Amino acid sequence: MAASASASAFASALALRLMALGSLRTPTLPRTRPRVYDRERVAGVSSQSDEALMAGYARGDRTAFDELFRRLSGPVHGFFLRSFRDAAVADDLLQVTFLKVHRARAEYRPELPLRPWLFTIAARVRLDALRKRYRLREDADEERLAAADEAQALARAQESAADDASGRAASVREALDQLPESQRTVVHLHRYEGMTFPEIARVLGSTEAAIKLRAFRAYERLRVSLAHLGPGGDDVT
C-alpha cells in the first residue's frame, strides 16, 4: 500500500491478521463505512488529540483506532519508505508496527506524547529489519548498524556514476538517498516529523550526542551535494 492508500482497506487487512494470530475473537477495527448513527461519533473523534484517541483505543474504541490510523499511518509509512526506499517493505513494516501497537496498547501512558511512543515502536521494527538485512546478531545496536550502513554507503558512493538528475526536487531526493540510512532516518525524524534531538535519541535508543553528530554529518553532506542549487538549495523540506 502506498502512503495514500485507503485506511479502511488496511484496517480490514489488519483485523484479519489479528484474528489469525488469535489476538481478537472478532475484528475490533472500524467498518469501511460508518452507519448513520455512528457519524456523530466519528465526527467527535476527529477533534480529539492523538493521546486521547490512543487512550480510547486502549479501552476498545474501534472508531478511535480508525482515526489514529488515518492520522499516523502516512507518517509511519513515510519513515519506513525513507529508510528502506522500498514501498513493499514499508507496507510490511507498517503492518508489523500497528500489530505491535495493538499488543502494547495497554502499556501506553496517556500523559506522554503519542508520536515519540509510536515511533519508538516503529524504530524497533526498523532495527529488527536492518539486522536481518545486514545479517547482524540480534543484539546489534543502533551504532553497530550505523557503522555497517555507512560502510556500505561509502562503497556505493565510490562506485556511483555522476549525478544526472534534473530539477531541485529530484536533486534533493537523490541527495537524501545518497546518505547512509542511519543519517537519512535522523533527517527524516528531525525535518519531516519535527522531533527534537533528545526525542530522536529516545526513539532510536541512542544518545543525544550521537544523534546530533549524525545530523551534523547529514546536513553537511546535503549542503555540499546541493550547493549547485544556490542559496537555500540544501533545504530538504
* Same domain membership, residue 80 and residue 30: yes
- Residues 151, 59 share a domain: no
User: Which CATH number is 122's domain given?
Assistant: 1.10.1740.10
Query: pLDDT tier at 217 (50, 70, 90 boundaries)?
Result: very high
pLDDT, residue 19, reads 46
In a domain, 190, yes or no: yes
What is the rounded distance in angstroms from the CA atom of residue 230 to the CA atom of residue 183?
23
Query: Is 223 a domain residue?
Result: yes
Residue 49 lies in a domain: yes
Same domain, 96 and 204: no
C-alpha cell at 32: 469501511
Q: Does residue 98 sit in the same domain as residue 189? A: no
The last residue of one of the domains, among 79, 104, 131, is 131
Overall average pLDDT of the 204-211 stretch: 94
Residue 162: all three cell numbers together = 555522476
Q: Is 156 within the bounds of a domain?
A: yes
17 shares its domain with 122: yes
pTM metric for this prediction: 0.62
Domain that holds residue 98: 7-131
Question: Residue 165 is part of a domain; what is its CATH number?
Answer: 1.10.10.10
Residue 77: exposure state from Cβ atoms within 10 A (0-12, 13-18, ≥19): buried
CB-side exposure of 59: number of CA atoms within 13 Å? 10
Hey, what's the cell of 214?
A: 549524525
Q: Which long-range contacts (CB under 8 A, 24 or more apart) does 168-175 make?
A: 168/229, 168/233, 171/225, 171/226, 171/228, 171/229, 171/233, 172/226, 172/236, 175/221, 175/222, 175/225, 175/226, 175/236
**What does the block give as the cell for 65?**
483506532
Task: Give the end of a domain, one of 75, 102, 131.
Answer: 131
Across 31-45, 79-93, 96-110, 113-127, least confident range: 31-45
Is 166 in the same domain as 192?
Answer: yes
Residue 115 lies in a domain: yes
For residue 14 the three cell numbers come to 489488519
Q: How far apart are CA 199 and CA 119, in angstroms?
A: 10
Q: Are residues 121 and 160 in the same domain?
A: no
Q: Enter the DSSP assignment of 135.
A: T
Together in a domain, 13 and 119 = yes
* Highest averaged pLDDT of the listed ranges 10-24, 34-48, 74-88: 74-88
Residue that is last in its domain, among 131, 161, 177: 131
Per the structure, the count of domains in the chain is 2
Amino acid at 61: D
Question: How confident is the model over 172-177, as a mean pLDDT?
Answer: 86
